[in-house]
Amino acid sequence: MSRAAKGQGRIMQVTNIRSVLPAAILAIVLFTTGRAECASASHGALQAKIEYCKTCHGLSAQGYHGFYPIPRLAGQQTQYIENQLRAFIERRRKNSYMYSVAHVLSPEMQVALAKYFSSLNAKPLEAGGRSKTVASEGQRIFEDGDPATNVPACTACHGVDAKGHNEIPRLAGQLPDYIFNKLVNWNRERGQDPKHPDISAIMLPTSHNLTKSQIRAVAAYVSHLQ
């Protein structure tokens, strides 16, 4: 090959590289921008879900006293929230409204929501006064149980501070009317798939053995804990 031909070939190679470089750079820019937009969309989707949850659970996720009491999510155990969302989706926990909310959530969104609400530290929502007698009775059952009716101490699972652990829920600051409503209806709402029992079965005997007055006392006591 002559020197002129070789020179012409090099010029063509350089020209080709110059023509390819802008396209390659543009592809990199578009890819990076696309990833940033995806991350932003994911963050935006999470914020939208958080705001949606707050319309029922309160601006600080402190719960709401409505026709039906809506539970506090602030400071709740992350694993417990995740487990309950799955229980709603799998119909192991009966609540038609929460099923419609939960079944459209991706596993990643369930985890993100659980972590967010667990990180909050709202003050307990005021639920009216309570007598010293009720508070004392509630504290006694919470700390010591009631051996006469085979009711174990609540602290055994929920901890001395009532903040729970992993799949065991936090009770501190929870709405007393919500706690009462759940315990008196435990077997109608929890463990609804006998073929796939879950940790809710632990509470079934206790919910049966507690009297309604005892439930009210315990609920009143833990609702004021920070």
Single-letter amino acid code for the residue at 93: R
Is residue 133 a contact partner of residue 210, using CB atoms and an 8 Å limit?
no
Q: What is the pLDDT of residue 130?
A: 66
Domain ranges of the chain: 58-223
Residues 6+ apart with CB under 8 A from 223: 124, 127, 173, 174, 175, 176, 179
Judge contact between 178 and 69, C-beta under 8 A.
Answer: yes
Residue 224's pLDDT is what? 92
Residue type, 213: S
58-223: CATH topology is Cytochrome Bc1 Complex; Chain D, domain 2 (1.10.760)
Task: Classify residue 161 by its DSSP letter.
Answer: T
Give the per-residue pLDDT at 13: 46
- Is residue 169 within 8 Å of residue 160, measured between CB atoms? no
Per-10-residue mean pLDDT, the chain, length 226: 48 42 38 38 89 96 93 98 97 96 96 97 79 89 96 98 97 97 95 91 96 96 94
Which pLDDT score, from 0 to 100, does residue 128 have?
61
The reported pLDDT for the residue numbered 28 is 36
Residue 170, Ramachandran bin (φ over 0: left; ψ between -120 and 50: alpha; else beta):
beta
Rg (CA), the chain: 28
User: Looking at residue 10, what is its pLDDT?
Assistant: 46
